Amino acid sequence: MFVSPLAGKPAPVELLIDPARLEREYYDRRPDVDDTEQLVSFGPGGHRGSPVRGTFTESHVMAVAQAVCDYRRSKGIDGPLYMGRDTHALSGPAQRTVLEVLAANGVPTVIQRDDGFTPAPVISHAILTHNRGGTNHLADGIVVTPSHNPPGDGGIKYNPPNGGPADTGVTKWIEERANEYLLRDNAGARRVPFEAARRAASTREEDFALAYVDDLGTAIDMGAIRGARLSLGADPLGGASADYWPRVNARYGLAIDVVNPAVDPTFASVAVDHDGQIRMDCSSPCATARLVGLKDQYRVAFANDPGADRHGIVTPSAGLMNPNHYLAVAVRYLLAHRPGWPERAVVGKTLVGSGMIDRVVRERGRALWEVPVGFKWFVPGLFDGSCCFGGEERAGASFLRRDGAVWTTDKDGLLLALLAAEITAVTGKDPGEHYRELTAEFGTPYYARIDSGATLEQKARLRKLAPQDIKDSALAGEPIEAVLTRAPGNSAPIGGLKVVAKCGWFAARSSGSEDVYKLYAESFKSQSHLDAIVRDAQRLVANALGGSTR
């Protein structure tokens, strides 16, 4: 993998965006609707893009907002729509556009007071709190965020009444309707001026932080954290959690040191990522280099992306923990310290997550629920309590309240950060130390993720592979035990395949946004065994696709 000489260092001026220019592009640029790349592409993470590429403009956002209004009307959703935004430069203009459309359509809309920022999980929490125990006038939400994407990107996603990322049926409906509007230059979309929208009877402001922060004690043992008097550090990476950690401190008597409280749309305070880009990825050792450099000053520290739905855990013993490692520790701790959770509730993981989680779940006597990549698959189980924990390999997770009720059905980076503090407070050992105990018991896993070039035709072929297309009987010298094209937990297509042997596995799946396929591999033997798995995997995939990949 290419590593830029700038990686982990402060960003030079020439890498910084010009927020004013970006906003002008947002309003002035018109997408080329004959270029399919510039149409709305709406998945569980919503629509993302940049005005510079003609993929995230006022036209896109207006079309998506009107499509959401149409969807609500078609499903009889008439409760409040909770809307929040992160700190990306385009999130403010985009939220204003959305509000103009919502107000014109008479949608009762709730936004953060004083034009503040809102973490994505807080919107999920607000939706679920409103809908608790009711079936009439259900709430839903919109989050204006491109997650950890670079500063020049924008994004908008929709959360239905279950509070989580929308499933494929919903996103397909919104995408198709939005593109209908986009193709006719938004004819038929309704809109009022921003000041009229802000003053509309359908618009009201609320302090989202108050209810969310007050409720944290139902999911996290805040008393244990306070009693342990831990030294804690937090780096919001210039994101929406910057305003939340002081509120947590004040409410629970903690002393979390916010090491980087600056909110700046250029994200100049975030170190350059591995590829020479500014990317607010809290699971990247490069982007979190500043916090990692402070690891010995805190008993445990944590970082979040701008939307605060992801987490990065830093400990003196391990530095920045691999997300898979922390998820395994979190699962083991929670299954031993949440007696109020339903005994039959499963533990959810994506099928490209580490096998260490599988071993922990078996050791705790629980059932594993293995699903395709994407947090949307965990939403139904978290919502009804049949899944006590859902975690994905890229540092996104949520879990039930201490009494077994739903907390959020979207990823919650603040929750997982505070869990790291609870683990350390209750056990006297940080999550890195706990992971060393896991490797002593179950062995050390060696894990890799590699992006390889693939044409559109090859990606389509990969999505259509059947188990019989794999002709080999061995993987890195071990008999192949299973070839999967559907997830064991819910039989949903995985968009590729997974090949499993006794001490290792690999999975290959098409990327939805790039001309690559993603290869994941793990060995519980050694690095050399992992290397052998990767070589076999690349050959097997190339043969199955009918030619070499780039």
Distance CA 398, CA 402 (A): 12
Question: Catalytic residue among 147, 354, 398, 452, which?
Answer: 147
Strand 474-475 relative to strand 478-479, pairing: antiparallel
Let me know: does 280 contact 311? Beta carbons within 8 Å: no
Q: Give me the half-sphere count of Cα atoms (radius 13 Å) on the Cβ side of residue 96.
A: 14
Let me know: does 505 contact 355? Beta carbons within 8 Å: yes
Let me know: does 234 contact 301? Beta carbons within 8 Å: yes
Q: In whole angstroms, how far apart are CA 20 and each of 116, 155, 297, 416?
A: 19, 18, 38, 35
Say how many Å lie between the first and final Cα of the chain, rounded: 14
Neighbouring residues of 363: CB distance < 8 A, sequence distance ≥ 6: 332, 441, 442
Distance CA 445, CA 450 (A): 16
Instruction: Name which of 429, 434, 407, 421 is nearest 227 in CA terms.
Output: 421
Structure tokens at 245: 């950690």
Torsion of CA 121, 125, 127, 131, to 10 degrees: 150
Torsion of CA 80, 86, 92, 96, to 10 degrees: -10
Q: What residues are paired with 143 via a beta bridge? A: 84, 157
DSSP assignments along 309-344, one per residue = -SEEEEETTTEEPPHHHHHHHHHHHHHHH-TTS-TT
Distance CA 188, CA 177 (A): 11
Let me know: does 369 contact 489? Beta carbons within 8 Å: yes
| Diameter over CA atoms, the chain | 68
Q: Which SS3 state, helix, strand or coil, does residue 497 take?
A: strand
Active-site annotation holds for 354? no
Neighbouring residues of 271: CB distance < 8 A, sequence distance ≥ 6: 7, 8, 9, 10, 11, 286, 287, 288, 289, 290
Let me know: does 534 contact 521? Beta carbons within 8 Å: yes
Q: What residues are paired with 518 via a beta bridge? A: 451, 509
Please give the single-letter amino acid code of residue 68.
V
Let me know: does 209 contact 248? Beta carbons within 8 Å: no
Q: What size, in residues, is the chain?
A: 550
Report the Cα 157 to chain-centroid distance in Å: 12
Distance CA 273, CA 12 (A): 12
Residue 129: is it exposed, middle or buried by C-beta count within 10 angstroms (0-12/13-18/19+)? middle
- Residues known to be catalytic: 147
